[in-house]
Every structure is written in structure tokens, then in C-alpha cells.
Structure 1
């Protein structure tokens, strides 16, 4: 696998650094373990990353997704002038781009919240997905109904609320929102 099959950028804003989106690398595991120490990450994320070994496994799962083409996951890095790569600030993913119901997902590290990282990264991923996959016409985004921050990110990036997803315990113990974005004609 080419370590850099795709690199995307999201520009700087007046209050935030530019973003670089690139596939996860093995050396990202150490900072990833620190990101998952955040209680909000443990609450909202479906992944369990308790230590460096879990983080290494999670990164390898993301890399495997690129190899199969079923899960195209990007590390979102804040890049300051002079940086080659930047500090991990989040994650965006395009799931099952060739399938019947492609989906996007994301999270933002605690230190990067409140600076527009999630909307800029999700916007870059969405634009790329609609360009890179000619047959792709619709993307969905799912989140727990009580995650108001995710609702705001979806709306800021053009994903309109499409409906309510009823809880399905134990995997999905709470109701969720379904947001949709259609390819522009």
C-alpha cells in the first residue's frame, strides 16, 4: 500500500491553522492513545482505545480499510508554517464508498475543538468523495441525537437532517440522527 494514496487540505481561518488530511500511519498510534484519554472521546466514539497497543491496532484497522477500499480514513493534522506534517487534531472517514449506502464519520481531539476543525475536515472529505467516486450521489452521516455538536457540524457542511434513527440496543443504545448530503448537479 502506498502510504499516501490521497492527501487533502483544508485552508487556515483567521483563528485556526491549515489542515492536512492523510491516511493514518503507524507512528500516529502514540498521539492517538493520548487523544482517547479524553472523556468526550470515550463517550461519543464507538472505538475503544485504552492504551498504545489499542491505538496501534486501531491505526492498523484504518490502514487495512485503505487496502480493501472499504474504509478510507484520514488523520486530520493541524499544520503550522514550517511543519511538515502537524499535530493530530481529528479523524474523518468515508465508509463503503462503492456500496449502496456510503457514510462519513469524524471526531475531533479535545485540544482542537471549537476552531472549526471538524467542519473544515468533513467538508474537504465530502468534496473529495464526490469528485473521486463518479457514481457517488449521496452520503449519510449518523450521530447520537443528544450530540448537539455533531448536529452543528453536519449542518455547517451541508448535511441536512433526514430523520431519526431509533435506538437498537446493545450496539446503538440511544436514538440517533441521520443527516444526508446529495451531490450537487
Structure 2
């Protein structure tokens, strides 16, 4: 199932935009993965241009297959500034007609602590519910290791309530938190 994005999600009155990944993102993607904090929480590491091309191809494949819908999060700081990559957000594991999927994200080192993760996750969450609730989506799950306190705060600020603690399983060495956010009942636009 190929998913079509007619217009990328954009935060109203803001410089934050979600768009599909392109090869133009390779230098910033490599730079983002130089951050040891990000590497601690992610499974796939980008070390060079070849890894970055493979990573972007995985994102394209996810869109073509409809099971990994990943967006580059871009911010324009000022009119004259070049837009820059600040994060990644993704809906994973959605199956046509399914009632749940998983969301994930990462942010670049340069923007941590500025609320970008929460804003981007909220954009993604709204988009996913608007796009897939008419087809059966009822909830989104967010998973992180219990010691990733920043992700726990982002999940809670975005309305993802802690639902359970799951035991560690490779490649993750620690137990995990599962946060859940349910689809809104009234505010979904089906047009």
C-alpha cells in the first residue's frame, strides 16, 4: 500500500515542516548521527554517505510499502536562513485497516531542549489520526527505554499516557515504557 502525502504537515504559524526525505538531506543526516546521545537510543547508525543513502532508501521503501512513514522535520529560523534538518518522525507498523501503529522520533543535538520533538510528534500524531482513523486507526503507541527520561517527558507532553512497562529484549538492554494516545472522537476531519 503506497501512501500519498498531498500536502506535508506544517505547524500553523510556525517554521516547522514535515516532508519526505531526499538525498539532499545526506550531509545533515550524517551530521545528526555523529551525536553520541542519539546513537545511544537508535538501532540503525549512519556513519558515512553509503549508510545515509541506505537509510534514505529504507524510508522510501517504507512509504512504498506503506509500513514505515518517515518525515524529515525541517525548520526555517528566519526568511534569509536556509531551512535545516532538526528531527525525524515516523509512523511504523501501520497495516491498512489496522487499529494501531507505533510512532518514533529523534532530534538533532543542536535543537534539543527547544520543544522541537514535542511539536514534531504532535504534527505527526495529528496527521496520522486524520489520515488513518477513517480506515480503522484507534491508537498510536510510543516505545522508549525506561532510562530515556527525555522521551518519557515528550510522550507525556503530547498526550501519550504510560500504558505499561515491557521487559528488555535485544537490541535494547533495558526495560521499556509503552505510551499510548487514542484517536480523538470528535475532532477528526474525514474530508
SS in 2 for 1:132: helix
Cα deviation digits, residues 48-95 of structure 1 (max 9, x gap): 111121111101110111111110000001123436971000000001
1:61-72 to 2 correspondence within 5 Å? 61-72=58-69
1:51 aligns with 2:33: no
SS in 2 for 1:142: strand
For 1:166 and 1:50, how far apart are their aligned partners in 2? Answer: 30
For 2:102 and 2:94, how far apart are their aligned partners in 1? Answer: 8
Structure 2 match to 1:73: 70
Structure 2 match to 1:144: 145
SS in 2 for 1:102: strand
Structure 1 match to 2:119: 120
1:129 aligns with 2:106: no
For 2:44 and 2:162, how far apart are their aligned partners in 1? Answer: 24
Check whether the contact 1:161–1:180 (CA below 8 A) recurs between aligned residues: yes
Structure 2 match to 1:176: 176
For 1:3 and 1:25, how far apart are their aligned partners in 2? Answer: 16
Check whether the contact 1:89–1:108 (CA below 8 A) recurs between aligned residues: yes
CA RMSD of aligned residues (A): 2.1
Structure 2 match to 1:111: 110
1:38 aligns with 2:35: yes
Check whether the contact 1:71–1:93 (CA below 8 A) recurs between aligned residues: yes
Deviation at 1:171, TM superposition (A): 2.1
Runs of 4+ in 1 over 3 A off after TM superposition: 1-6
For 1:85 and 1:162, how far apart are their aligned partners in 2? Answer: 40
Q: Kindly tell me: are residues 3 and 23 of structure 1, through their superposed partners in 2, closer, same or farther at Cα, counting changes over 3 Å? A: farther
Deviation at 1:4, TM superposition (A): 6.1
